Amino acid sequence: MKIYLPLDSAAVALGADEIAHAIEKHAHAKGVAVTLVRNGSRGMVWLEPLVEVETPEGRMAFGPMTLSDVPALFGDLSAHPKALGLTEDLPWLKAQTRLTFARVGVIDPLSLGAYKAQGGLTGLTRALTMEKAAIVAEVTASGLRGRGGAGFPTGIKWKTVSEAVADRKYIVCNADEGDSATFADRMLMEGDPFTLIEGMAIAGVACGATKGFVYIRSEYPVAVRVMQDAVAIAQASGVLGASVLGSGHAFDMEVRVGAGAYVCGEETSLLNSLEGKRGVVRAKPPLPALQGFMGKPTVVNNVISLASIPVIFEKGAEFYKGFGLGRSRGTIPLQIAGNVKHGGLYEIAFGLTLGEIVDTIAGGTASGRPVKAVQVGGPLGAYFPRALFDTPFGYEEFAGKDGLIGHAGLTVFDDSADMLAQARFAMEFCAIESCGKCTPCRIGAVRGVETVDRIAKGDTAAIPLLTDLCATMKAGSLCALGGFTPYPVLSALSHFPDDFNRMKEAAE
Amino acid sequence: MLDSVATIARLEDILSRHDGMEGALLPILHAIQAEFGHVPQVALPVVAKAMNISRAEAHGVMSFYHDFREEPAGRHVIKLCRAEACQAVGADRVADHAKKVLNLDWHETANDGSVTLDPIFCLGLCACGPAALIDGKLVGRVDEAKLDSLLEGLK
């Protein structure tokens, strides 16, 4: 009997380890030989812990599992109280286009054999037959843009590093996924780490870099462990090392752990942190592509950008580019979070409207109350009201509505949310996490909290002051922390003015 | 109080394990915290000397990051997520409850050294919040009642 049960953090937080223990205990008591595979999550977090049992018809899903549901797994499966049918037929999963996450939840994350059997290493093998410039051109042709949030064309970044002349170059994977509502990087690293390793190896070959780092935040202990194990396996099997897959190209990598600083998700701050310094933002230029880690040319890419590379080389740039909308090509792993009925990860081509995502895919709020606002793109993203639910999910489309898609996380709030409190939190968070290098962010955020507090006390004269402060932060900050904090603040103010006028109304 | 001779020997061992590593300071500070439960003040000059940086620089790095503690934490460490996705499902309410029950504010440790309450900004459990990290164990959908039973389990 083969049983799959995720090792994914979300599944573990909902009791997967206890279920695993119970399955092993029951199997032993019943004398049934069970192979328990701890896979990644299929992304349907409301069904976690999700157990799958391999049957001749396919993998059958059961969830959300509790300890009392375990014994019935050893009886008539179709009569199991938590039976959901075949996993592949679940509508939420079936409607997706899983390119980057094709193997997540399917395979044992630490089985290189299972990885290869599902198309793994095909992309790297192909890239190794190509010239450096041709590899870079393929990435450019795919239309892939930075999935960390900035949306910069990945191919252009690689070209700069590839053509730079230096004795050493580096590939740095930004796995400092600190934005609330985002967990795609975590799920990918926990569920299919070899995809990230393969993507980084292709980047290394394309750019002439021989060393890579994955900088993972310390809040992700499971991802750190799985990545470290996967790197060791890749080194032992010749995927990484002095000669990648016997090609003669050297590429090796190391996992590094952050230390709880949100700002280190900003690429120059991350590089300083990796060098062992304070995670202070660097002024640009020079670009990290020319003077990055230790002053050498460095590619800094997000996990999902790098993990999308293997499928581009496996299926071709044209295939990948065939998905999407406008200048947003390929697929995007939406992360649906907060107060939602169906939360989790949903990979689909760009172009769904916000309303389709929130009302149809997420199924509205978990509380059953009306949706008031959706924050898209993490703590630095704008709050969208229902009036903007027709906005299609794409980089330019969201920018056109004074928002951003960021790392594609969506936090849904019901009508009990107080948008003034959310605006205050945005400023408070910026004040706590500011690296302190530039004044608009360091001092502006503190003044921002004070100004929102004045408004909360009924001083509406402080509203123009807040708008003015936001303009200064937006234009004058060195990086996105101070520069984008105005997005949640101003969107809350402009779309939900009533929440900023309550005291005045009460007084009248 | 840590015995300084023994401490220095354990530090030297950590430093030698990171010899030749590029940008080794963060991995070293993590290793020190794993070894001692915090980064003892006595460690900084030793680390600074080995890394060829000033004591001020070593202190500057250590104090920049939220993870590194100057003092040991309580026997149990409760970290509650304060980020937006958890707020949307009641994290503020759970945090207020925790502060009241434990009689602690953020970053405080109980007088008897039993427990420390820390905020954390996102564990990536945004679809099953409010999230918590209790003595290194991830927990999702933490409401007031669940928090009470988790705290009971620590006693």
pLDDT, residue A177, reads: 97
Pair A404, A377: CB distance under 8 Å:
yes
Quick one: pLDDT at residue A125?
A: 98
Two tokens, residue A54: 């391999």
A381 touches chain B (CB under 8 A): no
Q: Beta strand pairing status for A409-414 and A331-338?
A: parallel
Banded model confidence at residue A5, pLDDT cuts 50, 70, 90 = very high
Going A485 to A487 to A492 to A497, the CA torsion angle's sign is positive
Give chain A positions within 8 Å (CB) of B127: 10, 45-46, 183, 335-337, 340, 343-344
Residues from chain A contacting residue B23 (CB–CB below 8 Å): 256, 274-276, 293-294
Tell me the two tokens of residue B48.
């600074």
- Indicate whether A395 pLDDT > 70: yes
- DSSP code of residue A202: H
Q: How confident is the model at residue A508 (pLDDT cuts 50, 70, 90)?
A: low
Measured between CB atoms, does A175 come within 8 Å of chain B?
no
Which of residues 305 through 344 in chain A touch B, CB cutoff 8 A?
Answer: 335-340, 343-344
Q: Write out the two tokens for A41.
A: 């999550």
Q: What whole-number distance in Å separates Cα of residue A192 and Cα of residue A226?
A: 9
Q: How far is CA A402 from CA A492, B81, B91, in A?
A: 12, 28, 28
Of B22, B83, B127, the CB nearest to A343: B127
What residue of A is the nearest CA neighbor of B63? A278
Closest by CA position to A476, among listed A485, A488, A463, A489: A485
Q: Which of A44, A50, A180, A425 to mutate to test the interface with B (most CBs of B within 10 A)?
A: A180
Nearest alpha-carbon partner for A261 in A178, A174, A380: A178
The mean pLDDT value for A95-112 works out to: 98
Record: contact A219-B123, CB cut-off 8 A: yes
Distance from CA of B110 to the nearest CA of A (A): 23
Q: How far apart are CA A76 and CA A1, in angstroms?
A: 13
* pTM higher than the cut 0.95: yes
Q: Which amino acid is at A79?
A: A
Structure tokens at A212: 């890579």
Q: What is the pLDDT of residue A505?
A: 56
Q: pLDDT tens digit string along A41-78? A: 999 999 999 999 999 999 999 999 999 999 999 999 99
| Residues of A (121-150) whose Cβ lies below 8 Å from B | none
The answer to whether A200 touches A171, Cβ cutoff 8 Å, is yes
Q: Are A320 and A173 a contacting pair, CB within 8 Å?
A: no
Q: What distance in Å separates the CA atoms of residue B109 and residue B107, rounded to the nearest whole number?
A: 7
For A461-483, what is each residue's pLDDT tens digit? 999 999 999 999 999 999 999 99
Picking from B65, B93, B122, B134 by the largest number of A CB atoms within 10 A of its own CB, the best residue to mutate is B122
Question: Cβ distance A333 to A101 under 8 Å?
Answer: yes
What does the alpha-carbon distance between residue A27 and residue A320 come to, in Å, rounded to a whole number? Answer: 44
Whether the Cβ atoms of residue A487 and residue A381 lie closer than 8 Å to each other: yes
Q: Say if residue A83's pLDDT is above 90.
A: yes
Q: How many CB atoms lie within 10 A of CB A210?
A: 18
Of B65, B126, B139, the CB nearest to A260: B65
CB A271 within 8 A of CB A172: yes
Instruction: Output the pLDDT for position B6.
Output: 85
Report whether A103 contacts A116 (CB < 8 A).
Answer: no
- Alpha carbons within 13 angstroms on the beta-carbon side of residue A86 total 7
Q: Smallest CA–CA separation between B31 and chain A, in Å?
A: 11
Q: How much of chain A exceeds pLDDT 70, in percent?
A: 99
Q: Are the beta carbons of B122 and A219 separated by less than 8 Å?
A: yes
Rounded to 10 degrees, what is the CA torsion of A411, A417, A423, A429?
Answer: -60
Q: How many CB atoms lie within 10 A of CB A326?
A: 12
Residue A274: closest CA among A147, A172, A185, A168: A172
Closest CA to A206 of A288, A138, A302, A300: A138
Mean pLDDT, range A228-232, rounded to an integer: 98
Per CB-CB distance under 8 Å, the chain B contacts of A425 are: 84, 87
Q: How far apart are CA A275 and CA A241, in angstroms?
A: 22
Strand ranges across the sheet with A298-302: A252-257, A211-216, A170-175, A298-302
* pLDDT tens digit sequence for A140-192: 999 999 999 999 999 999 999 999 999 999 999 999 999 999 999 999 999 99
pLDDT at A503: 62
Mind listing the pLDDT tens digit for each residue in A124-145? 999 999 999 999 999 999 999 9
| Contact predicate A411/B85, CB 8 Å | yes
Query: So what's the pLDDT on residue B4?
Result: 77
Closest to B121 in 3D by CA, of A39, A378, A105: A378
Residue type, A71: P
In tens digits, chain B (155 residues) has pLDDT values of: 456 788 889 999 999 999 999 999 999 999 999 999 999 999 999 999 999 999 999 999 999 999 999 999 999 999 999 999 999 999 999 999 999 999 999 999 999 999 999 999 999 999 999 999 999 999 999 999 999 999 999 98
Q: How far is CA B113 from the centre of its chain?
A: 14
The beta strands (E) that lie in A211-322 are given as 211-216, 252-257, 298-302
Rounded distance between C-alpha atoms, residue A444 and residue A482, angstroms:
8
Cross-chain Cβ contact B136/A221 below 8 Å: yes
Task: Tell whether the torsion through CA atoms of A277, A279, A281 and A287 is positive or negative.
Answer: positive
By the 10 Å C-beta count (0-12 exposed, 13-18 middle, 19+ buried), B56 is classed as exposed
Q: Output Rg (C-alpha) for chain A, integer angstroms.
A: 23
Cα angle: A427, vertex A430, A433; to 5 degrees: 150
Q: Do B138 and A256 touch (CB under 8 A)?
A: no
Pairing of β B108-109 and β B115-120: antiparallel
Could you give the CA distance from residue A319 to residue A285 in angstroms, rounded to a whole number? 35
Average pLDDT in chain A: 97
The residue whose two tokens read 């290493």 is A121
